[in-house]
Structure 1
Amino acid sequence: MNGLNDRTALVTGASRGIGQEIATRLAARGALVIVHYGAGEDGAKATVGEIERGGGTALAVQAELGVDGDVERLFAGVEAALAGRPLDIVVNNAAAQPAGPLGVTTRAEFDHLFAVNVRAPYFIIQRALPLLRDGGRIITISSVATRMANPAQTSFAMTKGAIETMSLTLANELGARGITVNAVAPGATRTPANDSFFEAPGLAGFIAGSTALDRLGDAGDVADVVAFLASDAARWITGQVIDASGGLFLGPRT
């Protein structure tokens, strides 16, 4: 299934995990993909290499998010990669990980979370809008943490709640241009980057047993949802949070 031929896409945090899978999915459907990375240059090169081996086109752009000048640096690379072409798809995937529960989170950790997870996507969208073609797609990765009470992820969940509100309001603002704005909320998603986390005794089994579809998710499960939202088939979906968790913690399983 192609369907994204002649489209251009920016995927942040595409050097590993879910972001890497999203980038390869969009490229496989025909999009030119700008692979953003922060510190993972080798991973970004691997993403570009995988796309090129599959017959696609990709370019890597480096910018550390959450610091002064981050969006300006990112879009200097984006505009160079686009070479005058418009942008069609923006996927805000890059995110800082949970800093811990209320009792241990420092002010610096809290500020970093919001700088990467909220401020950066907001201003990436602001900066992308003049480049974004009418009928474009904006997709931001949220988390099921927004619908569950997990004391270890309070500040992280707060950032993702902000992303979901942003997506709702921007969908209403940008709809006149035919631009759809949605969020995708993964649950427990096993990737090479976090594989060791799920090796804790009993953890993988507990999470699978708490998931309606009875298994852990993988990056491809999430990437396929993003690819759908980026396609013409999703043209009538906007302002939504799509749960891509396999039904994690929907309720007691009998």
Structure 2
Amino acid sequence: MDLLKRALRDPSICQMNPEEITIGGRKISPKQTIKFKGTETKEYTFEQVLFYLLNKDKKYTAYMTLCKESGIGKIYYTDQKIIVEEIENFKEASIEAKIDGPDFRYIGFRDYSYLNNICKKEEEGRPVTYYAIVPQSVSSPVNLSNVKEFFEKGICSDEISISEAEKVELKIEGFGVVAVDDVGRFTSEDWKKVVCIFLDGTKWQVSRWNIKDVGEIFNSIPTFCFVKRGMTSSIYMRNWNAIEIPIQNGKVDGPILSSIKERIRSCILGI
């Protein structure tokens, strides 16, 4: 981590090639893996992290193109800020070590490997919480106040109230999904569990998300925008990869609602 911190401060000391990376004269294997506290379920190679640090000031689309041209895996967009912060905050620790003698050593011969299997089963048994993001706006046909009714009956309205709830628990295609309208405190792990996004067509909705490239999110997560039948979405919305949901008489047709649920199911299953 100290080498990455040096690279972040002074990129000129870095040299990269497929077989070897050199930082300030020290050589490192490009495929050496690194774990970060905020991205525990995702490992990155030294090559991936350094390549991102050297190109972090570029736009996400430009960075993606460079990754593809160089044959280097990308750093997931929700992990980028976390990785930079962990590197910047890293402090090299020093400890005093004492070497013990044979008389003071205890060597255990009992096999405790079964504990690892128990921990794995415990982790696997925990239900995953998936998220659906809905607008906060009362001008949106759906927000937290009526999202449950929407998924059950396809009912939506132009005149809805502000919900006092912070979240609403749903059951979609047999999966538990939590609907939320505030993602300001979402971590990279939370974003990986988002299975659908509903937009109200305003730039205001996403301006508070603190995400560098929202377009990349809409390309990887099923995203929907409500549009009254016979009308077209705003120019702002057409720049995004959002599926239009036609509304007529305060309701979404059954087949359309089913297709929304199926897209959410496919996202959960990774189909």
TM-score (norm 1): 0.23
Name whichever structure is richer in helix by fraction.
Answer: 1
Bigger relative contact order, structure 1 or 2 (CA pairs below 8 A, ≥6 apart): 1
Please identify the structure whose Cα radius of gyration is greater. 2
